[in-house]
Amino acid sequence: MKKNVLTGLRPTGNLHLGHYFGACQNYLKLQNEYNFFLEIADVQALTDNFNNPEKVRKNVYEITMDLLSIGLDPNKVDFFLQSQIPEIAELTVFYSNLVTVARLERNPTVKTEIAQKKDIFGNNGESITYGFLGYPVSQAADITALRGEVVPVGDDQLPLLEQCREIVRKFNSIYGEILKEPQQVLSETTRVKGLDGNDKMGKSLGNAIYLVDDEETITKKIMAAITDPNKIKKDDPANPHICMVYYYHKLVNKEHCENVCKECKEGNRGCVACKKELIKAMLDFLQPIKEKRKYYEEHIDEVKKILRDGTKNAKKEATDNMKNIKQKMMIDYDL
Ligand code: TRP
């Protein structure tokens, strides 16, 4: 029996290179080895977008098309919608007894996100909602409802996985061994820096390259990327290791990046030429993704069918699993 992989994405925007190298590249490998459930986490997206349901709904299709365009195979991966699996919501309620509020408040990922979302949660998190504070509980339900044992994620998700394992252990110790502790799988590149040199590429940071960006946008972004500030003239020797252009050469222009590094250090490479070369490499890298994406945009019914079929399979898995869980919890009434 193949183990289940479960991972999820919040449908709040398009995929960028941070997603791609930080997590999605791993999905491509794992889809060949496991039973892969890929959750479009629309309910989780609503925890900080509750007042903007249109945005979440639109991005369900956007992100599904992005994921298909990078080469995930709907014959191997069940794409499903969180909101259509009520078992996840049920399990969230059951698990909420097993977590203290103090523990949730200490979760580093939740803490960081609250600090980033002052506009909705207040300057000191004083307006934090019950739902947002509790989303790690609901994420534990996502994973365990689908019997996920392997969870490919970016490193920002590790505190959520740890919290999930704590819930699993607590559940098993009270109700009996039934849930499996999930293990994370990290990518080789766990985190992709932004164009501005920030440690993390992110939508809210405004420093991301999206898979759907067109040539003009990519050109503009790369031309504005941060390079070695000490390099003034075209043939000054420079330090590629503090240059974002070199950093992206390493990601999408692997074959030539040694040469880029050498020429830069020697002062044989001007920044403008170097950026132009990166733009070309980036467009080449994105080309097959864009072609696939175009296909799905023109066949949106196919995208819907993929979500429908995947959700049906996920529902089956969750229903079967929930029967056993409820038995353990002694709420399996036969009335
Ligand atoms: N919290 C994840 C993110 O923000 C998305 C997510 C939802 C997820 N459910 C999950 C990730 C289950 C892994 C497993 O990207």
Q: Please name each of the domains of the chain with its CATH number.
A: 4-193+300-329 (3.40.50.620), 215-293 (1.10.240.10)
Q: How far, CA to CA in Å, does 16 sit from each of 27, 129, 137, 207, 253?
A: 15, 28, 27, 10, 17
Count other Cβ atoms within 10 Å, centred on residue 198: 15
147 vs 150: CA distance, rounded Å: 9
Ligand 1 centre to CA of 46 (Å) is 13
| Res 184: pLDDT | 95
Going through the chain in order, the beta strands assigned E by DSSP cover 4-9, 35-40, 77-81, 148-152, 183-185
> What b/e string do you get for 80-96 counting C-beta neighbours within 10 Å, with b at 16 or more?
bbbbbbebbebbbebbb
* Cβ-contact 195, 17 below 8 angstroms: no
| Res 332: pLDDT | 96
Task: Please name the residue that has the structure tokens 């692997």.
Answer: 254
212 vs 296: CA distance, rounded Å: 13
* Cβ-contact 139, 160 below 8 angstroms: yes
**Ligand 1 atom closest to 138 (CA):** 9
Longest C-alpha distance within the chain, in Å? 82
Task: Please name the residue that has the structure tokens 């960028």.
Answer: 16
322 vs 89: CA distance, rounded Å: 11
* Cβ-contact 271, 236 below 8 angstroms: no
Residues pairing with 41 in the sheet: none
**Ligand 1 atom closest to 41 (CA):** 7
Residues pairing with 16 in the sheet: 210
Ligand 1 centre to CA of 88 (Å) is 13
Ligand 1 centre to CA of 39 (Å) is 8
- Of 44, 138, 155, 201, the residue with max ligand 1 atoms within 8 A of its CB, to mutate for a pocket test, comes to 44
Tens of each residue's pLDDT in the chain, 335 residues: 899 999 999 999 999 999 999 899 999 999 999 999 999 999 999 999 999 999 999 999 999 999 999 999 999 999 999 999 999 999 999 999 999 999 999 999 999 999 989 999 999 999 999 999 999 999 999 999 999 999 999 888 999 999 999 999 999 999 999 999 999 999 887 789 999 999 989 888 889 999 999 999 999 999 999 999 999 999 999 999 999 999 999 999 999 999 999 999 999 999 999 999 999 999 999 999 999 999 999 999 999 999 999 999 999 999 999 999 999 999 999 99
Global pTM exceeds 0.85: yes
Find out whether the beta carbon of 140 lies less than 6 Å from any atom of ligand 1: no
**Ligand 1 atom closest to 148 (CA):** 14
Ligand 1 centre to CA of 329 (Å) is 26
